[in-house]
A and B are shown apart, each in its own frame.
Chain A
Amino acid sequence: EDKVVQSPLSLVVHEGDTVTLNCSYEVTNFRSLLWYKQEKKAPTFLFMLTSSGIEKKSGRLSSILDKKELFSILNITATQTGDSAIYLCAAYNTNAGKSTFGDGTTLTVKP
């Protein structure tokens, strides 16, 4: 059975701090690791990672995948209150055509 574990489950920081969110996976026929951000409603896409060691970057957010150790991290530098959200990671099983999601990390950024 495919499995994705995220840590920590929740995190409270102050504006300007840097945070690292972790995601480990055990997925057969693994194709890619995806990160989503969920605020009030639907999750929205952040990054997709398919190759080890190649960092994806978007502004203050960056992510990297280690396919040997089966994990990914999402970094957020100089956090802002608008970064407060649930961050979900999902591992895609290409044969089944579906993703398995972790339980998410709830990030709260205080002013």
Chain B
Amino acid sequence: NAGVTQTPKFRILKIGQSMTLQCAQDMNHNYMYWYRQDPGMGLKLIYYSVGAGITDKGEVPNGYNVSRSTTEDFPLRLELAAPSQTSVYFCASSYSGTGTLQVQHFGDGTRLSIL
């Protein structure tokens, strides 16, 4: 009954460091998404993937990279951490298709601070 699992839950980075946020889903969803949520704001799409081997940029992709080598995993990489990347990061997944297949299932988020 895991759903979407994100690790780590919290992380503090120094400016210039790099790290990878992990996301895994066990629902066999083909679509996966990465969002960031700044205080008092909605969700901004960073990158998304419609299937293994396929990724595309969202609204705010600068400073991030992704890969999708398997259906289950969709890691998000920060190469040179900057204070502007301090945020809460959510990973989500869904099926393609019509009806409630489009509903996204979210992980619990990673709270990232860059100091």
Chain A residues packing against B (C-beta within 8 Å): 4, 6, 9, 31-32, 34, 41-45, 48, 88, 90, 92, 96-104, 106
Contact = CB atoms under 8 A, between A and B. Distances in A.
Given A96-B56, A97-B31, 4 more contacts: A6-B42, A32-B102, A45-B100, A102-B42
Contact of B41 (A42, A97, A103): A103
B106 interface: yes
B50 A42 contact: no
Nearest to B30: A97
A42 B58 contact: no
Contacts, number: 59
Size category of the binding interface on chain B = 20 to 34
A42 B108 contact: yes
A31 to B, nearest CB: 7
B104 A99 contact: yes
24 contacts: A31-B98, A31-B102, A41-B108, A42-B108, A43-B90, A45-B104, A48-B99, A48-B102, A90-B43, A97-B50, A98-B45, A98-B48, A98-B58, A99-B102, A100-B45, A101-B35, A101-B42, A101-B45, A102-B42, A103-B40, A103-B42, A104-B41, A104-B42, A106-B40
Given A88-B43, A103-B41, A103-B42, A97 B96 contact: yes
* Most-contacted residue by chain A among B50, B59, B90, B103 (CB, 10 A): B103
B102 A34 contact: yes
Contacts of B43: 43, 88, 90, 101
B31 A42 contact: no
B82 to A, nearest CB: 22
Interface string B92-111: 00001011101110111100
Contacts of A42: 90, 106-109
A62 B82 CA distance: 42
A48 B110 CA distance: 26
B74 interface: no
B3 to A, nearest CB: 9
Contacts of A104: 41-42
A104 B99 CA distance: 23
